[in-house]
Structure 1
């Protein structure tokens, strides 16, 4: 170094060495990723039969879908393939999966619910995550009830309808008040549907919550129940590329869809977020998540392909807020996922970092590879991590309410 005296040169060398030592120490202190678990909603599908009630009026016919009701679309499969490729790059960078080639046996495990849309979604995501690898996608026989994803329908948890309804009413302040709070969104939905000036396009039944006929769940009636499905269909039309169309649905743009999404998100304030419902909806998946994180092999990923109820119930169990670009707070878009990353540092301390992964409506529609994947906080903790012991205690609170173990 010209112009530096030996004394100054020595100081520069010592400073450089100190900086290198600090960088090395910082690198050594970075926690290592042990395993990743993903709880995901299926991809873009055609509307479910009855999702937009038959007595919902519109100013133009509903668009025609290219697949049967409830099925994953070809567009939805492509979006999941793109998402899988994005996740492969991310996970390979973390050392969870190899950058090239096929993962070792057992490094990637995929289990889906039994509906066509979840099985097809698991297969599409696998094609992107492990291209050319024939990664197996496991599931029960098609259309059989899998208690992992549908514990109430499967009857694997003790269920007291009166206790459930009390919890729902306390959490929402009353389902009639929930509907009243969302009146601006209901009014906007009427304007979008354009069924005629001064008319309520969606039914305006009184709000109520009652035990289901089989005693295994609850039934919600009223404007939220009726309008939530319609709002979801409008979102699905947009991301599929069916609206805005040349002659109809001109007003359904992303900003409008985000506001209307509050109607769909409100369903989870009834079915998954009240504490009594959270414990029963999240129990079986909580058990499986903990088993996956306890797997002895280092590295690898478990994917559970289910529904928006699975994502919202797991988030509620952890006290995690679901916010994503382009969507109403608390709503879960097609392909939306909670990601749990198990970490261990050099001292052997373990923690779990939680991510919320989504593709915006524009990304889903345009089939681009822009993915939002921020680390998110859980109740009492910021977005950095939660100690493994506390993560486990929160999920075990849901597990203990399920006396029967799903196989």
Structure 2
């Protein structure tokens, strides 16, 4: 047998012996039908008491251009830029047109009653659909909106002592929580530069029921320093030329963010607190995603507690560039998309859209979308399963 005939015989044998496989079935085409976005407000001035009275520093704190807790002009410009970026992102998904005014009723915006949330919604809309008649809805001034302040509104059978016991189990106790962040506490002292044993003295760690019985209160180093860490982040997001007296780098800021994130271990992240804090908001999200009709975009603008509580109820961690794990970004947004595949099945996709503190500071337009997987689902979650999973982690309405 010639070499050529031998090689041909071997090739034929190999071909016959090689199993054949069907080509993999392509993933079903997905069409975005509706989007719910739960957003924290944008860049604001510090809240009174966010840097506790008695905190020592080597030099004065910088001044802000607006009153306490109000949106700054820089923050308003950042919200408009974010609105334009989200418009382009949603248009690419077919949710809204790329230009012009969206059809009436296809975009809904609802905010809490605080000025900073209303202004954030207004700034977002100005960039999202300039010159268009999109109302920014909210309750009357002084009212309590249960979507954003569930405990204060008394929407569930919240029991402070039960909450405290659940938080203690979740964290290991307030002493342990403070000890876990000892390195960040020392780092913050170095940034403050007060040349004292600690720059933010005060009461030892303790949890107690609030005076009205509708919530809980925290004392101790995490309570005292979490707000200070947040103010340093806001200085960066405001674009101040010097942050933390020149002693704060992006890496330092991210480390200090663990102190702010630790606050949510107490107030929103334990299963009990998440269930009660996210109750009305979670039910609103489910209703928006499952209703037969509704706006293509349902934007809800609240606070860091709303974003962290909903994330905790969904059993996902907040992870985004430039921030400590579990911390929240100004204008950070949980995005829930309802999609339908070519077989007619409705599914939910979850992501977290943020801008880094530096990007906010330079008024940049880059937004990072971090995909999130809901436990019990694989990337995409069937709509009915999503509703059941989230409902199971929400306290019933009282």
TM-score, length-scaled by structure 1: 0.89
Of 294, 299, 309 in structure 1, the residue corresponding to residue 305 of structure 2 is 309
Asked if 1:127 is matched to 2:132, the reply is no
8 Å contact 2:107–2:298 — kept in the other structure?
yes
Compared with structure 1, are the counterparts of its residues 299 and 347 closer, same or farther at alpha carbon in structure 2 (3 Å cutoff)?
farther
1:56 Cα deviation from its structure 2 partner: 0.6
Q: How many residues align?
A: 376
CA distance in 1, matches of 2:138, 2:250: 34
CA distance in 2, matches of 1:398, 1:113: 23
Asked if 1:353 is matched to 2:352, the reply is no
What residue number does 2:157 align with? 158
1:314 Cα deviation from its structure 2 partner: 0.6
Secondary structure of 2:342's partner? Answer: coil
Of 385, 390, 393 in structure 2, the residue corresponding to residue 395 of structure 1 is 390
What residue number does 1:338 align with? 334
Give the alignment of 1:89-168 within 5 angstroms.
89-168=88-167
Asked if 1:79 is matched to 2:74, the reply is no
Give the alignment of 1:259-278 within 5 angstroms.
259-278=255-274
Structure 2, unpaired ranges of 5+: 1-22
Give the alignment of 1:225-304 within 5 angstroms.
225-244=223-242, 249-297=245-293, 300-304=296-300
1:105 Cα deviation from its structure 2 partner: 1.1
* 1:21-75 alpha-carbon deviations (Å, 9 max, x no partner): x99x858x21111100000000000011101101110111011000000101111
8 Å contact 2:148–2:306 — kept in the other structure?
yes
TM-score, length-scaled by structure 2: 0.91
Of 349, 363, 367 in structure 1, the residue corresponding to residue 363 of structure 2 is 367
CA distance in 2, matches of 1:143, 1:57: 34
Secondary structure of 2:76's partner? Answer: helix
8 Å contact 1:317–1:394 — kept in the other structure?
no
- What is the alpha-carbon root mean square deviation over aligned residues? 1.7
What residue number does 1:217 align with? 215
8 Å contact 1:96–1:299 — kept in the other structure?
no
1:297 Cα deviation from its structure 2 partner: 3.8
CA distance in 1, matches of 2:110, 2:365: 24
CA distance in 2, matches of 1:41, 1:327: 14
Runs of 4 or more, structure 1, over 3 Å off, are none
Secondary structure of 1:322's partner? Answer: coil
